[in-house]
Amino acid sequence: MSDMNSNIPEGELASKWTKYKSSVPLVNPSNKRTIEVIIVGSGLAGASAAATLAEMGYKVKCFCFQDSPRRAHSIAAQGGINAAKNYQNDGDSIYRLFYDTIKGGDYRAREANVHRLAEVSANIIDQCVAQGVPLAREYGGLLDNRSFGGTQVQRTFYAAGQTGQQLLLGAYSALERQIGMGKVEMYTRHEMLEVVKIDGKARGIIARNLITGEIERHFGHAVVLGTGGYGNVFYLSTNAMGSNVTAAWKAHKQGAYFANPCYTQIHPTCIPVSGDHQSKLTLMSESLRNDGRIWVPKKKDDTRKPSEIPEDERDYYLERRYPAFGNLVPRDVASRAAKERCDAGYGVGASKLAVYLDFKANTERYGRIEAAKAGNHNPDKETCMRLGTAVIKEKYGNLFDMYAQITGENPYETPMRIYPAVHYTMGGLWVDYNLMTSVPGLYCTGEANFSDHGANRLGASALMQGLADGYFVLPYTIGAYLSKEISIKAIPTDHPAFVEAEERAVGILNTLINIKGTKSVDHFHKRLGHIMWEKCGMARNEKGLKEAIEEIRALRAEFWSDVRVPGTADELNTELEKAGRVADFIELGELMCIDALNRNESCGGHFREEYQTEEGEALRDDENYAYVAAWEFKEGVNFELHKEELKFENIKVAQRSYK
């Protein structure tokens, strides 16, 4: 059934990568100096790739839309990064990380890629520590670990609740070092608007200088997109305001297939929406589920304060339904369970769209341990709570502060209210084993590609994947392509392909400016988000998806006739930037619904109400849907499906169970 070649090397799973690495063609140092690589995006995947390629000797140009590469949204990742180090001696191994990731992804990821990810995971930690990333340590001076959802080992490395920040600043410093040495040319406040293709190969990009509005042409022997996820298609998500799909979408329109767009991760622990004014949602790290217990009242529409609800009237529904993993079930499972309870009328808070995340039991437990350490073996409850609160504060202080700041409530005293929110998109540009898209010379790394997480990503795996791609995978695999390009001289940017691509980009900008309609960009974005959340969100069904597709098409038509973009294209114009992004989101939203409608099964982050077990768990159809859905863009916003069959040779495919 497969019509895609993923270029997975032959051989045993465990030795594929090692063998491939030692046989992949190389580019000699003097040739590297003349080979130019464009990297779009400066998050974990982009910055690490840019720094590493420059260290290897390539000429690198790196682009980001923010004012500094340090601001990429990887910075907001809180909880941690997985690595199969087995420092805790709890039986972890490369295979176990591989297994957990495949299983967590509901058997919809490529075995060879995931195994490679697990193999290089340990190197990432070594690399980051060498860069001076201050990961959390124990008193003995060795690295500390915590556990995350979907695993039974402690393999997550962290830096308080700011792991993404610390890892990104590590990659950023490596990147800045290369910039300082003149080996990377950095273009901040630049947005990629087109991929330039010459003779079928990616040979550069068209970028807009966001300050002056100037359109620039940049040549590269290869182009790498590390441009992140597209969760903002839902308007409200935990993504940054600027996170967008535009670079990936333009590549898609130039022939790069978009894979599994419907796989959306809804994170179970976010701060609930407080009103219509809301512009984004804030995550409370999954690490909180280590010490927080999730519950709702046993009684429907219970309006009592949480403190007034006695223990035996609380329903710790995750612990009840999934005794083996309890509060640490994977994200998709936890999210759906929360939605199920709220839909059934057990939700809490003013909106009734929230559940409690309660730290009291573990605060008391920590307090008891602390008291015992201090020699008090029979502490009273107050002492326990006081000492325990200090421990909780050290572990999660910044998250608690953030919660208090946003909600105005004190989470040390009253349980947090949480509800699921869009957080991560497993789908993205289709890439082969080399991370190359279906356009030769166009690569995609990190969240922007579809590769390693299948239908659901486990916590602390995004940072791992972004850095694996950038530090340890792409720098090798790109050699396979570039070694054949050494004879190509830099192509002048007055080549007709550049001219044509620039005309396309400018045409869109001018169209947007000249519509001069009546409604703001945000107006359309909110409406799109509403359709997506209601009909292509946590639970989907055929009827809703069909409606959504029609509604989105109508919205697209309305957008292109009635959007209002003030100002001009030759100045800093944030509305114009947003308009271009929302235009792409609208097209992507339609594709997501088409993909969700096509996939007549439930798996991971894609839950079709028609396909569930009696207990309401996701029901896969391995016979018919064990494939990657890779969509090709066709003229006039149409899409053609290509399938890459997923073969599981080293892992037994089973119904996922966290009981």
Among positions 130, 377, 382, 494, the unique one binding another protein when judged by CB under 8 A: 130
Does 138 interact with another protein (rule: CB under 8 A)? Answer: yes
Structure tokens at 26: 């190389």
The nearer residue to another protein, 91 or 140, going by C-beta atoms, is 140
Cβ contacts of residue 619 below 8 Å, gap of 6+? 601, 602, 611, 612, 613
Among positions 4, 21, 177, 255, the unique one binding another protein when judged by CB under 8 A: 177
Q: Please give the Cα distance from 44 to 41 (Å, whole number).
A: 9
Q: Of 561-590, which residues contact another protein (CB under 8 A)? A: 564, 566-567, 571-572, 574-575
Structure tokens at 126: 């070594």
Count the neighbouring beta carbons within 10 Å of the beta carbon of residue 349: 17
Q: Which stretch binds another protein (CB under 8 A): 140-148, 355-363, 477-485, 606-614?
A: 140-148
Q: Of 412-451, which residues contact another protein (CB under 8 A)? A: none
Smallest distance, another protein to C-beta of residue 20, A = 16
The closest of 233, 240, 263 to 584, measured between CA atoms, is 233
User: Which run of H or of E encompasses 523?
Assistant: helix 521-535
E strands in 414-553: 416-425, 428-429, 442-444
User: Which run of H or of E encompasses 620?
Assistant: none
The nearer residue to another protein, 390 or 488, going by C-beta atoms, is 390
Smallest distance, another protein to C-beta of residue 178, A = 9
Among positions 27, 47, 160, 233, the unique one binding another protein when judged by CB under 8 A: 160
The nearer residue to another protein, 33 or 634, going by C-beta atoms, is 33
Count the neighbouring beta carbons within 10 Å of the beta carbon of residue 511: 14
The nearer residue to another protein, 283 or 328, going by C-beta atoms, is 283
Q: Which stretch binds another protein (CB under 8 A): 136-144, 412-420, 582-590, 622-630?
A: 136-144
Does 37 interact with another protein (rule: CB under 8 A)? Answer: no
Site size for another protein, by CB under 8 A? 80
Does 159 interact with another protein (rule: CB under 8 A)? Answer: yes
The nearer residue to another protein, 131 or 362, going by C-beta atoms, is 131
The whole-angstrom distance between residue 218's C-alpha and the CA centroid of its chain comes to 27
Token match 């589920």: residue?
Answer: 289
331 is catalytic: yes
Q: Please give the Cα distance from 99 to 120 (Å, whole number).
A: 15
Structure tokens at 253: 């329109």
Q: Which stretch binds another protein (CB under 8 A): 9-17, 173-181, 580-588, 602-610?
A: 173-181
Phi first, then psi, for residue 185 (nearest 5°) are: -95, 120
Among positions 27, 44, 84, 125, the unique one binding another protein when judged by CB under 8 A: 125
Q: Of 328-367, which residues contact another protein (CB under 8 A)? A: none
Q: Please give the Cα distance from 248 to 229 (Å, whole number).
A: 9
The closest of 591, 601, 656 to 630, measured between CA atoms, is 591
Smallest distance, another protein to C-beta of residue 126, A = 4
Smallest distance, another protein to C-beta of residue 582, A = 14
Does 176 interact with another protein (rule: CB under 8 A)? Answer: yes
Q: Of 511-540, which residues contact another protein (CB under 8 A)? A: 520, 522
Amino acid of residue 196: V
State the catalytic residue, choosing from 331, 527, 556, 620: 331
Among positions 310, 408, 496, 636, the unique one binding another protein when judged by CB under 8 A: 408
**Which x/- pattern, by CB under 8 A, does the window 290-309 give for another protein?**
--------------------
The nearer residue to another protein, 161 or 306, going by C-beta atoms, is 161
Q: Please give the Cα distance from 621 to 596 (Å, whole number).
A: 14
Q: Which stretch binds another protein (CB under 8 A): 2-10, 105-113, 124-132, 487-495?
A: 124-132
3-state secondary structure 579-608: HHHHHHHHHHHHHHHHHHHHCCCCECCECE
The nearer residue to another protein, 51 or 342, going by C-beta atoms, is 51
Smallest distance, another protein to C-beta of residue 385, A = 24
Does 140 interact with another protein (rule: CB under 8 A)? Answer: yes
The closest of 444, 41, 526, 100 to 254, measured between CA atoms, is 444
H helix runs in 238-286, sequence order? 246-253
Smallest distance, another protein to C-beta of residue 93, A = 16
Q: Which stretch binds another protein (CB under 8 A): 156-164, 215-223, 420-428, 477-485?
A: 156-164
β-partners of residue 354 are: none
Cβ contacts of residue 232 below 8 Å, gap of 6+? 239, 241, 243, 244, 245, 581, 585
**Which x/- pattern, by CB under 8 A, does the window 48-77 give for another protein?**
x--xx--x----------xxxxxx-x-xx-
Q: Of 452-471, which residues contact another protein (CB under 8 A)? A: 471
Smallest distance, another protein to C-beta of residue 543, A = 33
**Which x/- pattern, by CB under 8 A, does the window 225-254 give for another protein?**
-------------x-xxx------------
β-partners of residue 63 are: 40, 187
Among positions 22, 30, 89, 141, the unique one binding another protein when judged by CB under 8 A: 141
Amino acid of residue 57: G
Structure tokens at 444: 């995609």
Structure tokens at 251: 């590549």
The nearer residue to another protein, 71 or 620, going by C-beta atoms, is 71
Does 165 interact with another protein (rule: CB under 8 A)? Answer: yes
The answer to whether the beta carbons of residues 200 and 254 sit under 8 Å apart is: no
Q: Of 618-647, which residues contact another protein (CB under 8 A)? A: none
Count the neighbouring beta carbons within 10 Å of the beta carbon of residue 139: 6
Does 288 interact with another protein (rule: CB under 8 A)? Answer: no
The nearer residue to another protein, 57 or 255, going by C-beta atoms, is 57
Residues composing the chain: 659
Radius of gyration of the chain (CA): 24
- Strand 442-444 and strand 222-225: the pairing is parallel
Smallest distance, another protein to C-beta of residue 579, A = 11
Among positions 23, 91, 277, 636, the unique one binding another protein when judged by CB under 8 A: 277
User: Which run of H or of E encompasses 464?
Assistant: helix 462-467
Cβ contacts of residue 323 below 8 Å, gap of 6+? 659
Does 136 interact with another protein (rule: CB under 8 A)? Answer: yes
Smallest distance, another protein to C-beta of residue 65, A = 9
The answer to whether the beta carbons of residues 650 and 13 sit under 8 Å apart is: yes
Q: Which residues are catalytic?
A: 331
